[in-house]
Amino acid sequence: SSIAVDTLQAPTPPSSAYFSQSRKWVSFKIQHSAPQRVWYNKQNGVEEVKDGTSHGNNLENGVRRKKLAVFVSGGGSNFRSIHEASLGGSVHGDIVVLVTNKRGSGGSVYARDNGIPVVLFPKTKDEHDGLAPNDLVAELRKFEVDFVLLAGYLKLIPVELIRAYPRSILNIHPSLLPAFGGKGYYGMKVHKAVIASGARYSGPTIHFVDEHYDTGRILAQSVVPVLAKDTAEELAARVLQEEHWLYVEVTTALCEERIIWREDGVPLIQSKENPSEYR
């Protein structure tokens, strides 16, 4: 991968209480080279697809349309939200491949119904057709993937993939990290722990992925109240509703190359309407 680094003087953000006027920003644009796209038969963990979803490399305001890989383990409601936003035109990118560790997951069914190739990862005793880490990277290269979006994928991402896609893999977690994150904190377990703690607020976090569970740099969060008589299911539904719009908003910014990295390593989202503002 080639990394072009642009350093620029940041304009004054709306609140000087948090940022210094002399703060510098570093913008990283990751370009992944890959061979031309090919079609696959159902072998080696990749299922044949008759009709793809890519709209080509058309430009919007000088930005190339991005190609996305989404990873799911379950129903994939966030995957569906992003796909619908892509089809609707609000996301300047296309989901070109779905990766799952469960062949029969709801997300896999939705992908097949919509002509999106499905890749199995990792290889297990239950999924003999699953790919090894290096083979997974090779497949994503063949699909010319720009960014990887984890949407309810419960397996640890291999270091081979993280190194192949630096600062290009995002995950969504159903709590306000760094609270209630890490190994073992997933699904309803997170919401039960939040309620048991007495926390008054929760909400989804979108963060970049590193080699550990839920420890990568935080990119975006949304806050919801934890009500006095909440059940885990009620809290989960409230958080999930926030997840759907937040992940679409972040994916939109990602595809439009509006993720800005501060010199201390903190990623921020540049406003489309006002480039001098960040969130």
Interatomic CA distance for residues 171 and 153, integer angstroms? 9
Which residue, chain included where needed, has tokens 């383990």?
73
Amino acid, single-letter form, for residue 118: V
Asked, as a colleague might, if the bond just before 267 is cis with ω within 30 of 0, I would say no
- As a 3-state breakdown, the chain gives helix, strand, coil percent values, each rounded to 5, of 25, 25, 50
Q: Which two tokens stand for residue 176?
A: 């306000």
Q: Which helix (H) or strand (E) holds 248?
A: helix 232-255
Tokens 């031309």 sit at which residue?
36
**Are the C-beta atoms of residues 114 and 83 closer than 8 Å to each other?**
yes
173 in active site: yes
Between the alpha carbon of residue 130 and those of residues 113, 117, 174, the distances in Å are: 21, 14, 27
The structure tokens listed for 274 are: 């006002």
With contact defined as beta carbons under 8 Å apart, do 173 and 205 qualify? yes
Catalytic residue among 173, 191, 207, 244, which?
Answer: 173
- Active-site residue list: 173
